[in-house]
Structure 1
């Protein structure tokens, strides 16, 4: 089947996208309002942006009424009314339900940390707190926000990392089994990262025909 996305309604585009781009890592973003209220929200349009400098990116949709979500308001630079800082925490199986629950809309000024019963911990370099239960946390400062239709891609430079001692092995390799990260599938489905396979370096190529 050949599909022109411009001929589809947004709901159908969404279903095709999230059913095909799988699994998606989840950015569990903690931010701080200018008034000092901590916010916590998951975003599955998320990935690495590069390592020179170390940078991450995630995408935020607008609210159904067209207004900006709290996270977007918070991560905007101070010149645009935000703080320009945030933490990307990992979404892991041990608090998977809290990750999902934190997506529930709360009135601006109420903290999802309290709503989902997760613990804020002080960051080392920036003001927004990290999730104390997260095995890895990236403290970020906003580099750029790129509008794409009803979405905004937030690109941030990592200025500090927290890595729990038990998940960091030799040669600074992360023990992914101890991390227990989860990924987003379509609908209400998530996946674990424990089922993996390896393709050795120099794997023989299939002969041409």
Structure 2
């Protein structure tokens, strides 16, 4: 089947996208309103930008009425009414249900931390708290916000990184089995990250015989 996406209803485009771009990592973003209220929300349009500098990106949709979601308002720079800072926490299996619950909209000014009973922990560099239960947390400052239709791509530089000692191996590398990260699939489905296989780098050597 050959498909012109412009001829599809947005709902069908969405279903084709989330059913084929899988699994998607989840940014569990904590931010802070100018009034000091902590916000927590998951975003599965998320990935790394690069490591020189260390930077991450995630994409936020507008609300159905066209207004901005709390996270977008909060991560905007101070000149645009936000704080320009946020923390990307990991979505892990032990609190997967709380991650999903944080996708439900709350009135502006109410904190998802209280709603889902997760613990805010003070960050080292930025003002928004990290999720204490998250084994890894990236403290970020907003570099750029790029509008793309009804979405805004937020690019941020990591200014501090928290990694729990218990998920590090003897070489100070992250043991992904100890992290227990989850990914987003289509519909209501999520996936675990424990089923993996290796492919050695480079081309296999030719048989000299």
Aligned mates of 2:205, 2:15 — CA distance in 1: 35
Counterpart secondary structure, 1:198: coil
**Match of 1:67?**
67
How far is 1:178 from its partner?
Answer: 0.4
Q: Does 1:98 align with 2:101?
A: no
Counterpart secondary structure, 1:187: coil
Aligned mates of 1:45, 1:170 — CA distance in 2: 32
User: Where does structure 1 differ by over 6 angstroms across 4 or more consecutive aligned residues?
Assistant: none
Deviations 1:57-89 (A, max 9, x none): 000000000000000000000000000000000
| 1:1-209 equivalences in 2 (<5 Å) | 1-204=1-204
How far is 1:13 from its partner?
Answer: 0.2
Aligned mates of 1:151, 1:205 — CA distance in 2: 46
Aligned mates of 1:44, 1:164 — CA distance in 2: 23
Counterpart secondary structure, 2:171: helix
Unaligned 5+ runs, structure 1: none
How far is 1:187 from its partner?
Answer: 0.3
Unaligned 5+ runs, structure 2: none
Aligned mates of 2:202, 2:11 — CA distance in 1: 43
- What RMSD over aligned residues (CA atoms) do the two structures have, in Å? 1.3
How far is 1:203 from its partner?
Answer: 4.7
Between Structure 1 and Structure 2, how many residues are aligned?
A: 207
Counterpart secondary structure, 1:202: coil
TM-score normalized with structure 1 length: 0.97
Counterpart secondary structure, 2:30: strand
How far is 1:168 from its partner?
Answer: 1.4
Aligned mates of 2:2, 2:201 — CA distance in 1: 36
